[in-house]
Amino acid sequence: MQRPAPGAEPRWPGADRCPPSRPVVRVMIVDDSLTARTVFARMIEADPALLLVAQASTAEEALGRLSTCSPDVVLLDLEMPGMGGLEALPQFLALRPSLQVLVVSSLTEAGAWHSVRALAAGAADTMLKPVPGSFGGNYREQFTARIRALGRRDAASTGRDTCPQTQGWPPSRAPRPGKRPRVVAIGASTGGVHAINAVLGGLPAEFALPILITQHLPASFVPVFARQLELVSRRRTIVGEDGQRPAPGEIILAPGHAHLTVERRGEQIAVALCSAPSPSGCRPAVDPMLSSIAEAFDGEAAALILSGMGRDGVLGAGDLVRAGGTVIAQEPLSCAVWGMPKAVAQAGLAAAELRPADMGPWLSLRTGSAEWR
């Protein structure tokens, strides 16, 4: 393919239409930097599963072209002249509800705060902007893999055809009875920030159990995520540190550099950060958190597996169910990527599949007046 001359906008095959014979993911780039657009365009063009259908240097231009180019995924910069990406995001989702938005952010506190706000508002995932010298190798592979998963929803579209239409509250089938929970664990990845906000928004103020959360995020984003969750949930939210004791109604987040696990220390249960490799290769990972909770709480726990790529959480969910705990999976139609919940559901570990907004009422009903002890 002919590459663009220096300073010129890249050209790409099929920019005006998607060949019906190619099962590709249609991508739009929205970034005011010509350099960034060129770098991203070349990575997309090199992947036969992706088709670059449009580029825009402003959010206003992108919104005007959205209906004609029909992208599956928008790569969105948040800091642009005029209408910023954060302001434009709700309009993108209103015009095209099935759209998946991948936010690209700078490695700054302001960039992290804006990115977390975008994820809470409905963006599916975020990636840090590459620095010079990092455009190939692992960055390229992660970048294109995330776009492919978002565009195909990791078989969530298949789920539309093969899964029953759920799934409001209450669930259509009674969940398997399990031990009464004394703690709640939430595991999530791509699309998880928005889902976690919906779960916490459905909890009553008097809900008294500790909540442990492992969300795959860049390490620099975790303190910002903690502040955002505290504002939304009106619950004390902290980043996990070794030796902390989970407290009633408190939220503890996995830090970006270690797994959030718990262990018995005498008569008490305390946080124990762990950096050992996990089966999923993620750090932090959901599996170690759930496995440790199954042991420390003797299965008296409820776990929610939310939207995310891959299978992280399925092994820990198995440990929890065998110990007598209960696992709920996010139903496919509400997932940005139906990967982690799918693995749990297909393994027969999910007591029910619910939308995030319905999980709070389920937890309230399941726990009743349960208190931390």
Average pLDDT over residues 306-319: 96
Is 147 or 22 the better-scoring residue by pLDDT?
147
Q: Is 48 found in the same domain as 179?
A: no
Average pLDDT over residues 19-34: 80
Is 109 or 105 the better-scoring residue by pLDDT?
105
Average pLDDT over residues 291-319: 96
Per-residue pLDDT at 21 exceeds 50: no
CA-CA-CA-CA torsion sign (173, 174, 179, 184): positive
In a domain, 309, yes or no: yes
Tell me which long-range contacts 103-111 makes (C-beta under 8 A, separation of at least 24): 103/76, 103/78, 103/127, 104/31, 104/36, 104/40, 104/75, 104/76, 104/77, 104/78, 104/128, 104/129, 105/78, 105/129, 106/79, 107/218, 107/220, 109/220, 109/224, 111/78, 111/79
Q: What is the pLDDT of residues 44-89, one digit of tens each?
A: 999 999 999 999 999 999 999 998 999 999 999 998 999 999 999 9
Q: Is 272 found in the same domain as 146?
A: no
Per-residue pLDDT at 194 exceeds 90: yes
Q: In what order do the strands lie in the sheet with 352-354?
A: 237-239, 251-253, 211-215, 184-188, 302-305, 326-330, 352-354
In a domain, 360, yes or no: yes
CB-facing half-sphere around the CA of 280: CA atoms within 13 A: 24
In the prediction, which pLDDT does 158 show? 37
Q: Which of 103, 127, 154 is the last residue of a domain?
A: 154
Three-state secondary structure call for residue 127 = strand
In the prediction, which pLDDT does 110 show? 73
* Residue 289 structural domain: 163-367
Q: Of 188-192, 218-222, 240-244, which gets the smallest average pLDDT?
A: 218-222
Q: Which of 132, 154, 176 is the last residue of a domain?
A: 154
Q: In what order do the strands lie in the sheet with 100-105?
A: 50-56, 25-30, 73-77, 100-105, 125-128
In a domain, 372, yes or no: no
In a domain, 216, yes or no: yes
Q: What domain count does the chain have?
A: 2
In the prediction, which pLDDT does 129 show? 82
Q: Which amino acid is at 245?
A: R
Per-residue pLDDT at 27 exceeds 90: yes
In a domain, 18, yes or no: no
Percent of the chain with pLDDT over 70: 83
Q: pLDDT band at 163, cuts 50/70/90?
A: very low
Q: Is 347 found in the same domain as 220?
A: yes
Q: pLDDT band at 176, cuts 50/70/90?
A: low
In a domain, 122, yes or no: yes
Per-residue pLDDT at 152 exceeds 70: yes
In the prediction, which pLDDT does 108 show? 63
Q: Is 319 found in the same domain as 170?
A: yes
In a domain, 11, yes or no: no
In the prediction, which pLDDT does 172 show? 42
Q: Is 192 found in the same domain as 120?
A: no
Q: Which of 107, 127, 154 is the last residue of a domain?
A: 154
Q: pLDDT band at 365, cuts 50/70/90?
A: confident
In the prediction, which pLDDT does 201 show? 93
- pTM score of the predicted model: 0.85
> Across all residues in the chain, what is the average pLDDT?
86
Q: What is the pLDDT of residues 315-363, one digit of tens each?
A: 999 999 999 999 999 999 999 999 999 999 999 999 999 999 999 999 9
How many other CB atoms are found less than 10 A from the CB of residue 58? 17
Residue partners of 175: CB distance under 8 A and separation at least 6: 326, 328, 351, 352, 362, 366
Q: Of 105-114, 122-131, 210-219, 231-240, which gets the smallest average pLDDT?
A: 105-114
Which active-site residues does the annotation give? Answer: 189, 216, 312
Kindly report the CATH number assigned to the domain that includes residue 255.
Answer: 3.40.50.180
In the prediction, which pLDDT does 119 show? 94
- The beta strands (E) that lie in the chain are given as 25-30, 50-56, 73-77, 100-105, 125-128, 184-188, 211-215, 237-239, 251-253, 259-265, 268-274, 302-305, 326-330, 352-354
Q: Is 330 found in the same domain as 182?
A: yes
Q: Is 150 found in the same domain as 213?
A: no
Q: Is 174 found in the same domain as 303?
A: yes
Q: Is 191 found in the same domain as 87?
A: no
Q: Is 347 found in the same domain as 264?
A: yes
Q: Is 175 found in the same domain as 131?
A: no
In a domain, 339, yes or no: yes
Q: Is 123 found in the same domain as 92?
A: yes
Kindly report the CATH number assigned to the domain that includes residue 58.
Answer: 3.40.50.2300
Average pLDDT over residues 135-158: 76
Average pLDDT over residues 144-163: 63
